[in-house]
Amino acid sequence: MLDFVLMTTLGFLGSFGHCLGMCGPLTAAFSLTDRTPDARSRLLFNLWLNGGRILSYGLVGAAIGGVSSIVVAGGQLAGIGSDVRRAMAIFTGLLLIWFGLVQIQPRWLPQMPLLHPLAQGRLHNWVNHWMQKLTLAPPIGLGLLWGLMPCGFLYAAQIKAAETANPWLGAATMIAFGLGTLPMMLGVSLSAAFFSRDRRSQLFQLGGWVTLAIGLLTVLRSSEMVDYTGHIALVLLMLTLIARPMAKLWSGLLQYRRSLGVGAFIFSVFHVAHTVSHTFNWNLQGIRFLPFSQQLGMVLGILALLAMLPLALTSSDRWVQRLGQRWRQLHLLAIPALILIVIHAVLVGSSYWGVVAPTAWHYGRTIALVAGTILILAVRSHTVWSWFGWGKGYVKSK
């Protein structure tokens, strides 16, 4: 379930940059062929058009998953823990990590020509021009052809579909991705007006972080996913909090501060989803049988998530202008959220003090986590910087 949510998120965020630029003109050309004057008929036309596109994605995903399943079919090779499947997961994850990093910052890594033969968009542009001449075809037929268009951004979803090694899961992966692109493609003529060029770029860049997250989760997939997602959320929130005071020393961190903060919230949601799914198997009644300290830790974790929710929802220039000084006051909730998350981790996390029989290793990790949190809070203090004679390097809030 988490994989499908991630793919939908990737499709949605990526659609603001890549899909709008590459397929926006094609979508507009298709819409102009619909001569019906009423809004209901135009909506149905576009629903059939995009429905055909998403169906095409699903068929391609089923084919990719089917071919992949043949590769690992039979005996030990089909086992979840088999070396072949593990190697496929690592290879797939590394490709997704590469795609994500290139999407976040194209200068970090070169494009991969063997996997990105259409990086320059020549074939894509040729097919785009050819398809605009077919706009008198039925909308679902156009959508089916549209879904077969070469697209570098689509490769990330197709790679993930191959990693499933199952035609049904491959189809579901591609459909989830397609559904994520639906809002932008369905309302391209309206949605683009509500988002500035910089905002669309920011959302597309955030899509790169999601791609990176999918790759990391694919590589690191195991029974420890509850801990992985929780720790990633914790680290992202810590980086968010030190981005501003350390801007002179690490300017790149401030550039991605909002993306890091939203990413911390997203991974917190994934952490909750993994906990409910894997730890409790959707039977939340089991929480009543936990020790009181762990029940308290669960409550504090939920409170931290609720504290982060308004921060994620208002992480945009529009809300900065609307709230003024209150925006910064609101976003200071990130500090108590961090403290709540750390206490939650100590009381509930399998790596810390809250386990049934803690060892010296658990106590050591707990001390390290608390010390690291104190260090993060100290970095945010101008007084602490001044103690060490580094006051001029501290960046104050505006």
For residue 191, what pLDDT is reported? Answer: 46
pLDDT of residue 346: 93
The answer, as to whether pTM is greater than 0.75, is no
Query: Would you list the DSSP string of 97-112?
Result: HHHHHHHH-TTTS---
CB 147 within 8 Å of CB 19: no
In contact, 35 and 204? CB cutoff 8 Å: no
- Residue pair 210/269 in contact (Cβ under 8 Å)? The answer is no
* Terminal-residue alpha carbon distance, the chain: 41
* Residue partners of 80: CB distance under 8 A and separation at least 6: none
324: left (phi over 0), alpha (psi -120 to 50) or beta: left
Model pLDDT for residues 217-237, shown as the tens digit of each residue: 665 555 567 787 788 899 999
How far, in Å, CA of 88 to CA of 325, rounded? 50
Do 236 and 264 form a contact (C-beta atoms < 8 A)?
A: yes
3-state secondary structure of 324: coil
Cβ distance 263 to 236 under 8 Å?
Answer: yes
Amino acid at 173: T
**What's the confidence (pLDDT) of residue 300?**
95
**What are the average pLDDT values for consecutive 10-residue runs of the chain, which has 398 residues?**
72 62 53 55 76 87 81 49 56 66 62 43 49 54 69 70 83 88 68 47 60 64 70 92 90 81 85 78 79 91 95 86 89 95 92 83 93 95 90 83
* C-alpha to C-alpha distance for 219 and 199, rounded to whole angstroms: 30
Compute the residue count for the chain.
398
CB 190 within 8 A of CB 24: no
Q: Identify the CA nearest to 132 among candidates 19, 28, 29.
A: 29
Please, is 26 exposed, middle or buried when counting C-beta atoms within 10 Å of its C-beta (0-12, 13-18, 19+)? Answer: buried
Q: 218 burial class (0-12, 13-18, 19+ CB within 10 angstroms)? A: buried
Residue 201 CA neighbour count, 13 Å, CB half:
7
